[in-house]
Structure 1
């Protein structure tokens, strides 16, 4: 029987790394277990956007109404892998159940409570790394290519709850800058303030690792394949057959968190919501903040001398092969926009961990005395990583977290199951 003194953090994405660092800074002895699979985590491949404006939940009547028109075969970003229907079918049923007016209102308030702390937490984290330059607070832009979508899009953002972000029509100087770099028409746009981006997601991940190691945190490459309860405490079985008996366990393993927690009787309906990007040289792109081409569901972000184009919401199994049609669609969008990437262009696909109500799971398990979790951050993993680390450190340290974690309790899904059983009876 192997030992893992102190806290074992399972997960190698930005949420897991931020939590491991926060726990180590709080004085915990921490071992970070990073699977380091063949593909980099979703937190590496995202658009780098700190999306504090995304208060409106994606589980809502509006999302259900618009879903058909956003399907990939119709030119949209939304796709469901037919071969993986056994994985996403039950999740989709739960998503529909969550997408009620009451569910959307609950989700909005819950997300707002987290998002209002997101930028302050990132400022604290980057300052603690002695790298405040990692956080770039220039806002972001949204543009539309037709007068109709421009009018409708700007009005939708004006009435949406965007928390502490601020939105205004795209100024003429910024509109001229965007038009300078694309060939497609820009019929209208919006500029957001009090949002931001990270300078480079890969750099952020590396610096979190460096800071953790410099503070005496231990890292191990490996994969947890099973959690077991022995005397109300968690034992962890690794892929190589070794068992660890840590004092405490934090499950922050993205999509893989679901299988680990289901072994213990948790209802953890997390799905792989896969995204794609292309990345190449940025010689033919200006020094702009992130630009969202909303008609195409495409975001372009510059990271130094590299330009990244990211898109798509593809539901399937995390392990299913990538769909090359997605990269081909991205290339077509770039060609139609007149955007060039220099040198070799890298292709990437990664899986966002998404729960049916589009709220993360952050809390303490009732199945064991030493088990905690932080996963399911969907499109907001990078945005919420810093604040999640702070909340988890407070929770596991016995303090009162700065945000009420009740809406993020994983047992909310078990309560829904039990209610359905009572109604059926």
Structure 2
């Protein structure tokens, strides 16, 4: 039996979303117990790209991908890989994804992503400021570069689409790119600069600092694997490998692992899958870039951090159990060749893989169900870091039975 004090809310999942929510709920006077099978921040939050991607208001796929999909899937080192052994399990998810590419559902997804993203920068400024760690975030913008002259038309079309969604964006000429980031290759043609974005200098440290603030606010942490649970009149009983945890409410925020517990407690089967993402950390590259840079053609991102330069990207569908394909992480270094005046050093480089929790409409579940006994905050796909702080504020309002936004796009019953 887990020895616990009285718990108002058990937060299952100690990634960036769960820790931010735990801190928010504790500050609202709740007695919070945070539970995870790993130490805080050891999942996807440890190795994300570190980019505050408020400019990414479009779903993870659109109709244009259908023409490129066969070629992409046949390239084992391309930006998208599907493990064919996993295809039967993934087919229902992909079918839902295709249905969400229709104009109506697609535009609803855009609106839902945009609403969260528009509140993300301010929410992060408030959250990091409240713990005295504003220096962990650099609001210095980000840059999307292109190399081939024939790519300019696609870039201009993307700029127009973003302007339609009120995303601040500027076109930078090749000269402007060279002036701002002189170590990039002079062959680059230009790019789009997003001034209302930025990057975190150490995403894992962000989680750790929030966790320390949460503990100081009374949050208790139990390292345990939650295997199931049941609702009752007094709240919820969670079954774990360390015993039973009793709470008045539970918040499920364990990323790609959230579907099973959600199904057990709510009876709702959520179409949650994982896009496995990779990074390669280059500790010897501290002065290459002033801000995050993404390649339009090569489809990966490079983010300057306190520990070096992080190359991140790729999407792999292979489920939660298959071992990582670390050659995909090393492929990121090969993709970087030609983007700089001098190739990046891989001395001391470390590869990593993590699970992005993705739903087929590219929107998270943020909801209050089962007469308020179950709160939900998961499925943020590529935008978990971006949307964590604003999600915590929304969860705080849901816990207090308030609502400051239209929550319909994020509700569990949309599935």
Q: TM (normalized to structure 1)?
A: 0.90
Q: Deviations over 1:351-401 (max 9, x none)?
A: 0000111100000123x541111000000100000000000011101222x
**Is the Cα–Cα contact under 8 Å of residues 87 and 271 in structure 1 kept in the other structure?**
no
> What does residue range 26-425 of structure 1 map to in structure 2 within 5 Å?
26-36=28-38, 40-71=42-73, 73=75, 76-160=78-162, 163-171=165-173, 174-177=176-179, 180-183=182-185, 185-231=187-233, 233-240=235-242, 242-264=243-265, 265-283=267-285, 285-337=287-339, 338-341=342-345, 343-366=347-370, 369-400=372-403, 402-413=404-415
Q: CA deviation at 1:226?
A: 0.7
Cα distance change of structure 1 residues 102 and 59 upon mapping to structure 2, 3 Å threshold: farther
Q: Per-residue deviation at 1:283?
A: 3.7
Task: Single out whichever of 260-269 and 36-45 deviates more from structure 2.
Answer: 36-45
Cα deviation code 1:175-200 (max 9, x no counterpart): 21477424572122121111111221
2:15 corresponds to 1:16: no
Whether the 8 Å contact between 1:267 and 1:411 is mirrored in structure 2 is no
- In structure 2, the residue corresponding to 1:190 is in which secondary structure? strand
**SS in structure 2 of the partner of residue 117 of structure 1:** helix
> Alignment RMSD, CA only?
2.3
Q: Does the 8 Å contact 2:14/2:41 carry over to 1?
A: no
Cα distance in 2 for residues equivalent to 1:113 and 1:206: 27
Unaligned runs of 5+ in 1: 414-425
Moved over 6 A (4+): none
Question: How far did 1:66 drift?
Answer: 4.2
**1:419 corresponding residue in structure 2:** none
The Cα of 1:39 is off from its aligned counterpart by 9.4
**Please, which moves more after superposition, 73-82 or 379-388?**
73-82
| Count of aligned pairs between the two proteins | 410
Q: Distance in 2 between matches of 1:63 and 1:161?
A: 22
**Whole-Å Cα distance in 2 between the matches of residues 75 and 233 of structure 1?**
48
Asked if the contact 1:60–1:103 (Cα under 8 Å) also holds between the matched residues in 2, the reply is: no
How far apart are 1:406 and its partner, in Å?
1.1
Name the CA distance, whole Å, in 1 between partners of 2:86 and 2:317.
8
CA contact (8 A) 1:7 1:246 kept: yes
Residue 244 of structure 1 deviates from its aligned partner by: 1.5
SS of alignment partner, residue 166 of structure 1? coil
Alignment check: 8 A CA contact 2:120 2:387 kept: yes
Partner SS state of residue 61, structure 1 = coil
Query: 1:305 offset after TM fit, Å?
Result: 4.2
- Matched position secondary structure for 1:197: strand
- Checking the alignment, whether the CA contact within 8 Å between 2:282 and 2:345 is kept in structure 1 is yes
For residues 116-168 of structure 1, give each alpha carbon's deviation from its aligned partner in whole angstroms, at most 9, with x where no partner exists.
11111011101101122222111101111110113322332223357453212
Distance 1:166 1:410, change over 3 A: same
The answer to whether the Cα contact below 8 Å between 1:70 and 1:77 also exists between their aligned partners in 2 is yes
Do the aligned residues in 1 keep the contact of 2:280 with 2:351 (CA within 8 Å)?
A: yes
Q: Do the aligned partners of 1:39 and 1:350 also contact (CA within 8 Å) in 2?
A: no
Gaps (5+ residues) in structure 2?
none
For the residue of structure 1 that corresponds to 2:349, the secondary structure is strand
Match of 1:421 in 2: none
CA distance in structure 1 between the aligned counterparts of 2:10 and 2:399, rounded to whole angstroms: 12
CA contact (8 A) 1:307 1:341 kept: no
Cα offset, 1:211, TM superposition: 0.4
